Each structure stands twice: as C-alpha cells, then as structure tokens.
Amino acid sequence: MRSGAAAAKQSVQSRRLKRLEETHEIQTRVTHRRRKLLTRGGVLAGFGMAMGVYPVMGTIAPPMDGINNVAGIVRGEAPSTAHAILGDGPTLTASFLPLPSPDEQARAMAVNDRYVVSQYLPDCDPTVEATGGNGELNVEALCTLWGGIQLRADAAVALAELNHRFNLKFGRDMCIYEGYRSLSKQYETKRRRGFLAATPGTSVHGWGLAFDLCGGDDRGETKQWIEDNGAAWGWVNPHWAKTRKFEPWHFEYKPGTDAMDYYGSNGWEADGGGAVYDDTTPDTAPAPPKPATTTPPPTEPEPDPAPQPTAGTTAP
C-alpha cells in the first residue's frame, strides 16, 4: 500500500514539475520576444526621432554660440550638421551647354575640310580621293543617290544631308534629273542642248559637283526652299545661271568649285558659259594643282573614247 501511494505521489509531482518547466520555457520565450520587440522598436523610434527632430531643430532652433563661431556660418541661416562641422566648401556654379540642333550639326559638317560619313548615305566614303579627268573620274570617288544619280563623294554627302531636310519639309525626295556626266554624256548633251551646254570636258557635271532639278522643283516654293537652305550644305544656283543663261534647275557644290578655283584663274566656261564668272565673294584659298586634262584649248579636239559628233555639228 505504501509503495503504491508513494508511486502515485511521485507521479503527481513529476507532472507538476513538467508543467512548471513548460510554463518557465513559455515565459522565457515570451520574454525574449518582448525584449527583441522592444529593442527593435527602440532602434526604429530612435531613428525616427533622429530623422524628424534634427531637421526641425535645425530649422527652428536659434543658433548657438558654438555654431556661431564656426567659420562660414552666418547668423539667421539654418546650417546643416555637416555645414556646421565642415564650414564652407567649394561653390559650384551651374552651367548649361545646349546641344546643337540637327541643322547646326549639318552646317558644321558643311564647313569642315572633310565630311564625315552621313547617316543618310552610310555607304558613301567622302574621304576617297577623286582621280582622273573631267567626265573620267574614278568609280570609287562617286556615290550613288536616290534615282541612280551619282556625284563626287563629298558633294553626294552634302546633298544627302540637304535632301533629308527637304524630305522633312515636303514629305518626299528632291527631284534630281542629272548629276555626274561622263565625257561621252557631255558630248551627247552638247549636241542636244547646244548653247545651253558646256564645252565637253569643262562641265561642272563632269567633276561630279553639279545636279539639275526636275519635276517642278526648279520653280515655286520648292525651288525657293532649296535656294534658301542649300547654301548651308554648300549647294548654290550660280550667278551665271541667274543672269546671262537662265538655268534655275542647275546647282553646284561651291566648296568643290572653290577648291578647284573653277571660276577664277582657270577662266573656264560655266555650264552655260562664255563670260567670266561674277562672284562678289571669291574664294581666296590656294588652288590645288590643275589636272592636265582640264585646260580646254581654244578649239578642243574630241577625245578618242567619246562618240563622234553627228554631221553638221561643230565640235567645241
């Protein structure tokens, strides 16, 4: 009997101890959680006070004597903590450099000694040197534009830039009838147009530096726009084409003709030519060496590769 009662009493005590241990563990866990929560809450509260109180105090609190003695602090201002500690730092002045407009970029291209490749004619390399005579330029120096028209590379790049602006304005490409003329083509043109065509071997077209408009672009609003804007890219309707021979469709790449001194000491005929070119702003840059094939004699014999003039036609 006694042993049974002792065993029962011991069992009750064991359960009581177990409950006490479990209760203690629960209290311990709760205490730890509360401590963690309080710790985190204290950190967050302190951070919040630092973020909220410091700016407010820096704004509304009157400056203290210690701050007033720091170099660079002026009474009545609201110095920041870093300013109070470090004093005045270097003063940075804001400056604004506006980006150039597309037209300004194009104008910069037009006055450079050499063009860069145009995004509107990416396969054309304007740095390729042109060799050969008038109407006999090397193929590498020519670039093909819309409609199969060819020009010397630098002139082609300039026209591509001008045409892009024309397209933005009128929603289409410029109507170009003709660009570079081979020597045989110059003889053919002379037979057809007579007085209006240049002596074969002297045409600006033969250097790949001229184009002729078509489709009504040589008059009206489009012609006026091309004349007003073309000079920014080097393209002009020359003086002779406005006076002694009216050719409003004919435009020349002036940087190219100026570099050759085409209307200067050479005294060449213009594409309608005979008289001396009258330019109020002649180019004074030294002229490059003159190609041997470009000086026309008073009576110019026809070169072998060119077709013979038809009967009744006087050779230039």
Specify the CATH number for the domain of residue 147. 3.30.1380.10
Asked whether residue 35 falls in the same domain as residue 72, the answer is yes
Q: What is the pLDDT of residue 311?
A: 44
Instruction: HSE, CB side, 13 Å, CA atoms: give it for residue 113.
Output: 1
* Residue with tokens 């009216």, as numbered in its chain: 246
Asked whether residue 110 falls in the same domain as residue 62, the answer is no
Query: In the structure, what pLDDT confidence band is assigned to residue 223 with cuts at 50, 70 and 90?
Result: very high
96 in a structural domain: no
Read off the pTM. Answer: 0.52
Backbone conformation region of residue 253, classed left if phi is above 0, alpha if psi is from -120 to 50, else beta = beta
Domain boundary among 39, 60, 86: 86
Domain boundary among 86, 117, 145: 86
65 in a structural domain: yes
Nearest-angstrom CA–CA distance, 230 and 149: 18
Q: What is the mean pLDDT of the chain?
A: 73
Give 144's strand partners: 150
Asked whether residue 109 falls in the same domain as residue 77, the answer is no
Asked whether residue 227 falls in the same domain as residue 79, the answer is no
Q: Give the range of the structural domain holding residue 203, as residue numbers without chain letter.
A: 102-294
| Per-residue pLDDT tens digits for 257-290 | 999 998 885 545 555 443 333 333 333 333 444 4
Asked whether residue 78 falls in the same domain as residue 106, the answer is no
Asked whether residue 124 falls in the same domain as residue 239, the answer is yes
- Choice among 1-10, 49-58, 277-286 with the minimum mean pLDDT: 277-286
Asked whether residue 106 falls in the same domain as residue 82, the answer is no
Domain count, the chain: 2
